[in-house]
Amino acid sequence: MSPLLRFSFYGIAVSFYLFSALISMSTPSPEKRIEQLRKEIAEHDERYYRNAAPVISDFEYDLLKSELKALESAHPEFSRENSPTKIVGDDRSRGFEKFSHRVPMQSLDNTYSEGEFLDFCARIAKEIPADKMRFLVEPKIDGVSVSYTYENGKFVRALTRGNGVEGDDISRHVVNIAGVPAELKPIDGKPLPKIVEIRGEIYMRTDEFLRINAEREAEGLEPFANPRNLTAGTIKSQNPEESVRRRLGTFVYGLGACEPAGTFATLSELREMLRAWGFPLTDFCGNALGGDAATEKIRELGELRKNYPFPTDGAVIKLDSLALQRKLGEKSNAPRWAIAFKYAPEQAETTLRAITLQIGRTGKITPVAELEPVEVAGTTVSRATLHNEDEIARKDLRVGDRVIVEKAGEIIPQVVRFVPEKRKPDAEIFSFENELKKLGIEAERPLRLIDPAKPEKGTERAVAWYVKEKDTPELRVRRLIYFSGKTCMDIPNLGESVATQLVERGFVKTPADLYALTFEQALLLEKFKEKSAKNLIDGIEASRSRELWRLINGLGIPGIGEEYAKILAKKFRSLSALKNATEDEVRDALIKGEKSAKGSVLVANILAFFEKEQNRELCEAFVSAGLNTEIADAGTDESAGTEQIFEGKIFVLTGTLPSLKRDDAKKMIEARGGKVSGSVSKKTSCVLAGDEAGSKLEKARELGVEVIDEAEFLRRIGERAPENSAPENSASDELLLF
């Protein structure tokens, strides 16, 4: 579809939405509807900014907001200062130090239509002459806003937007982000600003997002919704190791406070200086005189962005001149000199052929939309998760419906809504319970805390269904695959097909049975020859000596992922000590006395797991099978307890480190699963740089490779989770109370 056609198509779509919203409004009065919308938007804000777990697409959210805006301007008597249309969201979280922004961080008005963009230009044209209307058109990065403060050239801190006035200090994550200089050097003899707040975005590349999701899915965990949420979750994670493994990037594009004022006259000048200082900037930055030229740039970017490796959700169009920006000023939550043009997500209509139920490793039942294959944003979509029963009810999806499909963050397929005028009169309301009955699945909906920050009774809600019978062949297969996965026992060649056969042939019921598998049995597996049978048996053998945390992770205790498994291993040092631990001991190990509700759920899950006889037997079977179920005393076997935090990472050492000898640093990296190489390339994960680091450091900067100093290196390999902070749980979707 040509861009123009698409824009008008979305113009129609937006009008359709507004129109249907108006129709549905015929029942509630404008005042009631305004109230409803404010409440609904506030709930979505909470999910988006604080929990990084939205349940509607950005497009749907923007529609709610434009409906509210339209109503508020038609009925100014109901206008309120604290309406979501007038304030920026709030991402502040517990456990972070707060700092004020010297200049508040605002949000941006947005539009999906070229017509509205031209209206914006016309408003500006009333105040400034046409020949001064020079715009920059940049990609709108779909990440998390950040403000980097430098004082006399030294990095001081990085803050999130927070509530716009003050933000959370996320500096410790910034060392993991390639391209944020620790120090700014004067360029061409120009003095450094005494204070400068540099505004930008932290993001995750699409391939990194897909990598992490693939890993999660292999482990039977729910995938993340989109890169933005994963970025937000990562920078708000209390666990630095977790963020080290998730690669983040940053782009900078703007200015907050700057002393002395007048250091920069235009954004273009600022960009040049930022580039010279070493910050990453987007390649595309269209320079356009007037609205029509800017529209051209918006269209151009609309095509180019499809091939960007990072997520974008629009274009930001802003006046280049800082003096003119000041002249135009700002509203309560957004500047008048800039606007975001959002590209409506590419959508397609198709038929919902069926809703199937998928059972995960823990027995969780996820409904899946089986769709008539349809092309959306470059790929064919035939399935999409429907998340849970409530989501199906909220969207009132029925088998046989024509539905609109889009990709969240242009990556994950999602069913947005059904097409009402195409619904068959006999379309039946989907009943999850009936479906379970039809399939003969006995299931339950255990209560789960909705907001771990509010542990009061009554805040729990049943969201997902779980099968009651946890020992079916399907679940045995799922557990086996999980147990053999990379973050557990890491047994190569034990994927879906082998696991299914092992269970079907009755060779393996529990993961412990793997260790009694014989070469002869392996030979019986489909397509298995001597070599493949030997490889499988060798892989199983090798896994006997894996670190204790891997075995603990492999148990599949709900909510206990890699991070917590490591903490438990370190604390209890043997599987039997963990198995026999008291509630206080487990609580103490996990949350160091902090009575967080999330912690309580995890403690309950661990205790419930080890209370079950079959799980205790499983642990004993692991011991009898000769697995490594202990960490040897410190000093006798160091590597057994060393967490492989650098697994798969390639380091380059350069310059003189203040206290470590190079050889020691190398050993420390290797003991943690990393490799050390002599030269910097695209494959390098991290450069550990000391004083007088020369060309290698430059090369790293050029390639955007992460650079850390010795202090940061030591921090990463040193004591983990600070006192009183439980790490973010990587398997939070599975926090259940059994």
**Contact status, residue 568 vs residue 702, Cβ threshold 8 Å:** no
Q: Is 579 marked active-site?
A: no
Beta strand 379-385 pairing with 675-677 = unpaired
Tokens of 456: 């009061």
- Residue 263, amino acid: T
Kindly identify the residues of this chain, within the stretch 195-214, that bind ligand IVH according to CB under 6 A: 201
Please state, in angstroms and as integers, the Cα–Cα distance from residue 412 to each residue in 57, 383, 386, 392, following that order. 11, 10, 12, 17
CB of 282 to ligand IVH, least distance (A): 7
For position 45 contacting ligand IVH by CB under 6 A, the verdict is no
The count of residues interacting with ligand IVH (CB under 6 A) is 15
DSSP collapsed to 3 states, 661-700: CHHHHHHHHHHCCCEEECCCCCCCCEEEECECCCHHHHHH
CA triple 367-369-413, angle to 5 deg: 110
Helix (H) or strand (E) holding 389: helix 389-395
| C-beta of 88 vs 352, nearer to ligand IVH | 88
Closer by beta carbon to ligand IVH, 228 or else 649: 228
Contacts of 46 (CB under 8 A, 6+ apart): none
Site for ligand IVH in 621-640 (CB under 6 A): none
| Nearby residues of 471 by Cβ (< 8 Å), 6 or more positions away | 614
Rounded Cα–Cα distance for residues 97 and 92 (Å): 10
Select the residue interacting with ligand IVH from 59, 61, 112, 253 (CB under 6 A): 253
What does 449-516 look like in DSSP terms, one character per residue? ES-TT--STT-EEE-SEEES---SHHHHHHHHHHHHSTTTT--TT-SHHHHHHHHHTTS-SSGGGGGG
> Which residue of the set 140, 297, 566, 598 is catalytic?
140
CB of 304 to ligand IVH, least distance (A): 14
305 binds ligand IVH (CB under 6 A): no
Residue indicated by tokens 């059972």: 359
**Choices 134-142, 150-158, 211-219, 521-529; region in contact with ligand IVH by CB under 6 A:** 134-142
Closer residue to ligand IVH in complex, CB, 313/643: 313
Using CA atoms, how far residue 407 sits from 7, 58, 369, 413, 420, in Å, is 18, 11, 14, 4, 21
The answer to whether residue 101 forms part of the interface with ligand IVH (CB under 6 A) is: no
Interface positions, 102-131, toward ligand IVH (CB under 6 A): 106-108
Q: Which residues pair with 652 in a beta bridge?
A: 677, 687
Shortest gap between Cβ of 338 and ligand IVH (angstroms)?
Answer: 5
For residue 471, the tally of other CB atoms under 10 A from its CB is: 12
537 part of the interface to ligand IVH, by CB under 6 A: no
Site for ligand IVH in 141-180 (CB under 6 A): 141, 145
Q: How far is CA 413 from CA 61, 282, 381, 382, 690, in A?
A: 17, 27, 7, 9, 46
Comparing CB distances to ligand IVH, the nearer of 255 and 405 is 255
Point out the residue whose Cβ comes nearest to ligand IVH. Answer: 145
Compute the least distance from the CB of residue 140 to ligand IVH, in Å.
4
Identity of the residue, 342 or 649, whose beta carbon is nearer to ligand IVH in the bound complex: 342
Shortest distance, position 735 Cβ to ligand IVH, whole Å: 30
Q: Kindly tell me which residue out of 34, 180, 316, 522 binds ligand IVH, with binding defined by CB under 6 A.
A: 316
Question: Given the rule CB under 6 A, which of 139-147, 217-225, 360-368, 473-481 is the region that contacts ligand IVH?
Answer: 139-147
Instruction: Report, in Å, the least distance between residue 88 CB and ligand IVH.
Output: 8
Is residue 227 a contact residue for ligand IVH (CB under 6 A)? no
Query: Could you tell me if 321 and 135 are in contact, meaning their C-beta atoms sit under 8 angstroms apart?
Result: no
CB of 120 to ligand IVH, least distance (A): 14
**Residue 330, exposed/middle/buried by CB under 10 A (0-12, 13-18, 19+)?**
middle
Site string for ligand IVH, 338-377 (x = CB under 6 A): x-x-------------------------------------
Q: Kindly tell me which of 317 and 665 has the beta carbon lying closer to ligand IVH.
A: 317
- Which listed residue (50, 140, 407, 696) binds ligand IVH by CB under 6 A? 140
Q: Which stretch binds ligand IVH (CB under 6 A): 101-109, 112-120, 233-241, 637-645?
A: 101-109
With beta carbons less than 8 A apart as the criterion, state whether 321 and 262 touch.
no
Active site residues per annotation: 140
Q: Report the interface residues with ligand IVH, using CB under 6 A.
A: 106-108, 138, 140-141, 145, 201, 253-254, 316, 318, 335, 338, 340
